Amino acid sequence: MIFQIVWESLARQRRRKLLSVFVVALGVAVTAAVATLSLDVGDKVSRELRSFGANLSVTPAADGLPVAVGGIDYRPAGAGAFLPESALVNLKRIFWRNNIVAFAPFIYVPATLDGQPVVVMGSWFEKALMVDKTEMFVTGLEKLHPAWNIKGQWPADDDTKGALVGRRLAERLNLHPGRSLTLVATAEDNAPTSPATAYSSTAEFTVRGILETGGPEDNEVLAPLASVQRWAGLEGKVRRIEISALTKPEDAFARSDVSRLTGTEFDRWYCTPYVSSIAYQIQQAIPEAQAKPVYHVAETEGRIMNRVGVLMALLVVAALVAAGLAVASMMLATVLERRAEIGLFKALGATDARVAAVFLLEACAVGVLAGVAGYFAGSLLAWRLALAVFGSAVSVHWVMLPVCLAIALLVTLAGSALPLGRALKISPSLALRE
């Protein structure tokens, strides 16, 4: 009997019920779209942010060891240790290896070009690295710094004579793609990035492109790592490694003193992709290395991700609150219109629970329809937004359908609470007299 009453009530007030379904579905659609984008596009946003620079820097651990007597450091200013190039593959064997987006090693040689001092930087441009028998990982400067502007083309790693020249250096010396370079290495102990032993020899390169980064690279020459290593007599050695990794924004727990954590706390810290925990794992993979987060990059990324998350959460809350208020206003209008019907129910002996069941079942029917419609509308909206912003579609997450149904039911029931309380206070005698 009660279901027949609910069905007839839904059939009599179709326009109002459809409007309730629409507003709740709209709120659920916004929620579904935001949730889908968070699940599928979170990594894409992080990868976009990673294009602005590495967030981890790896140097030899020996660089941090003081060589002092009587408080005086006797190391030459240009002195420094090196890391084995063969150890770089271990970066893709740590616990968070899939979060390592790209990395590139560097070696520096001070030289002169047309009588002007320059720094020649050797690195990988696009290197295919065999991680194991089944996995090939492509990395290098092209992957590490996709935002760099190249006028010309990237040199190939097997192009032993190819090089990039920084924009400001090219303007000073009137260099352009196709121009030959004759570089003379110099041993300057006061050059902080120079190797400990640089040979006074010449090297011939050809400009493949002009590089513009807005950083110190605009005044440097970039050449294949193997060529610079042979030129400097440092085969198989690198001076520094830059790493781009997908990380979770750091919180108070991430900054905890690792030595004071309990076993459970350490496991939680180790298994969370904080920039500090990834740096710790890198030092385990390459014992002779010291990994340090580039905090200004990591913190900037963390602030952006946190603010985007807060903005999306506020958008969802606003949409659901608006939907709840709309349901409340329409349900209150329904209660006022059906005062006589409610009074008749009570006069015939219907309890408050039976009267409440009628309205709650109507709200549940609206919520189910709105949840299904909102899920599909939200999935479509997320798909279109992902294509427009990131150029790639998102997948359909069926696990979100019951979540959307639950949210729609919660919104409709919450919006019906106040009108339902008003309905239960109606006096049968007064309602029937009116």
Residues 124 and 256 in one domain: yes
Number of domains forming the structure of the chain: 2
Residue 18 and residue 138 in one domain: no
Q: Which amino acid type is present at position 415? A: G
Spatial neighbors of 277 by CB under 8 A, at least 6 apart, are 96, 254, 269, 270, 271
What is the predicted pLDDT for the residue at 8?
Answer: 59
* Cα separation, 339 vs 432, whole angstroms: 8
Residue 261 host element (H or E)? none
The residue count for the chain: 434
Which two tokens mark 371?
């949840």
The whole-number mean pLDDT for each consecutive block of 10 residues of the chain, a chain of 434 residues, reads 57 72 86 78 58 80 57 44 92 91 92 90 93 90 88 91 94 92 71 43 92 90 94 91 85 84 91 90 92 69 67 81 82 72 70 74 84 89 78 73 88 82 67 60
- Residue that is last in its domain, among 293, 317, 350: 293
Element (H, E) at 149: strand 149-152
3-state SS assignment for residue 252: coil
Q: Is the CB of residue 212 less than 8 Å from the CB of residue 148? A: yes
Distance CA 191, CA 197 (A): 12
The closest of 46, 49, 27 to 38, measured between CA atoms, is: 46
Instruction: Give the pLDDT of residue 177.
Output: 93
Q: Specify the pLDDT at position 58.
A: 93
Q: Are 117 and 198 found together in one domain?
A: yes
Same-domain status, 365 and 271: no
Quickly list DSSP for 126-141.
SEEEE-SSS-EEEESH
Radius of gyration of the chain, Cα coordinates, nearest whole angstrom: 33
Q: 355 and 261, same structural domain?
A: no
In sequence order, which residues have a C-beta less than 8 Å from that of residue 187 and are 6 or more positions away?
110, 194, 197, 198, 199, 200
Helix intervals (H) in 292-351: 295-337, 339-347
User: Is 285 in the same domain as 364?
Assistant: no
Whole-number Å distance between alpha carbons of 274 and 34: 24
Q: Are 318 and 283 part of one and the same domain? A: no
End position of a domain, from candidates 293, 315, 334: 293
In this structure, how many other beta carbons lie within 10 angstroms of the beta carbon of residue 343?
19
Q: Is the CA virtual torsion 186, 188, 191, 193 positive or negative? A: positive
Domain ranges, residue 38: 2-48+301-433
Q: Looking at the structure, do residues 170 and 137 belong to the same domain, yes or no?
A: yes
Helix (H, G, I), strand (E, B) or coil at 70: coil
> What pLDDT does 429 receive?
60
Cα–Cα distance for residue pair 273/249, rounded to 1 Å: 9
Clarify whether residues 171 and 268 are in a common domain.
yes
Query: How many H helices and E strands in the chain?
Result: 12, 16
User: Do 178 and 317 lie in a common domain?
Assistant: no
- Judgement on whether residues 44 and 119 belong to the same structural domain of the protein: no
With tokens 């599928």, the residue in question is: 40
Which of 293, 309, 326 marks a domain boundary? Answer: 293
Supply the pLDDT for residue 195.
42
At residue 104, the pLDDT reads 94
Quick one: 427 and 324 in the same domain? yes
